[in-house]
Amino acid sequence: MAEDCIFCSIVSGEIPGRIVAETDHAVAFLDANPLAPGHTLVVPKQHYGRLSDVPGDEAAELFDAVHELSAAVEDALDADAVSIGINDGEAAGQEIPHTHVHLVPRFDGDGGGSFHTISPASESPTDEELDEIAATIRGD
Ligand code: 5GP
Ligand code: ZN
């Protein structure tokens, strides 16, 4: 548990949270400032800042919970879809430094955007640039 971490305090029960699911290593609770009714956050119980800090087995459990909740949240709110995402790092908009997955119920015509609206489009890369980036990510 990290001091001064609001999500650690919710996980420990020190401050109340509207818990909607819990597993050995993950907890899901309602966002206090929801983008839509039912906006849910899924977090590892341990304090990890970034997704890449989470050990693989705990990450698998985290995403199992996301998988189950994607349907449960959509059904409970009678939503048409769900936006699921992580602001992974400050430059991506992460404000709470305890990694978390957002599940935001979406409704036909709700005026929200898609993942493609969060970043200005980059200029179209050439085939060579795409090949080079793919090779770098693979670690060739
Ligand atoms: P981030 O920008 O870090 O990806 O998202 C942080 C989220 O945490 C925001 O959606 C914000 O509304 C939510 N949040 C901030 N403080 C609290 C809190 O005290 N309780 C709960 N349940 N959610 C919070
Ligand atoms: Zn924490």
Domain positions in the chain are 6-138
What is the number of the ligand closest to the CA of 94? 1
Digit-by-digit pLDDT tens for the chain (140 residues) are 888 999 999 999 999 999 999 999 999 999 999 999 999 999 999 999 999 999 999 999 999 999 999 999 999 999 999 999 999 999 999 999 999 999 999 999 999 999 999 988 878 999 999 999 999 999 99
Residue 100: closest CA among 4, 11, 15, 3: 11
| pLDDT reported for residue 128 | 97
51 lines ligand 1 (CB under 6 A): no
The topology (CATH level 3) of 6-138 is HIT family, subunit A (3.30.428)
Q: Are 91 and 73 in contact (CB under 8 A)?
A: no
- Compute φ and ψ for 30, nearest 5 degrees: -75, 140
7 lines ligand 1 (CB under 6 A): no
| pLDDT reported for residue 122 | 79
Q: Cα separation of 92 and 111, whole Å?
A: 22
Place of tokens 């709700």: 110
Structure tokens that stand for 33 in this block: 């400032």
Residue 85: closest CA among 29, 24, 20, 39: 39
| pLDDT reported for residue 48 | 98
Q: Cα separation of 70 and 85, whole Å?
A: 11
Sign of CA dihedral 89, 95, 98, 101: negative
96 lines ligand 1 (CB under 6 A): yes
CA-nearest residue for atom 21, ligand 1, is 32
Q: Which residues are catalytic?
A: 100
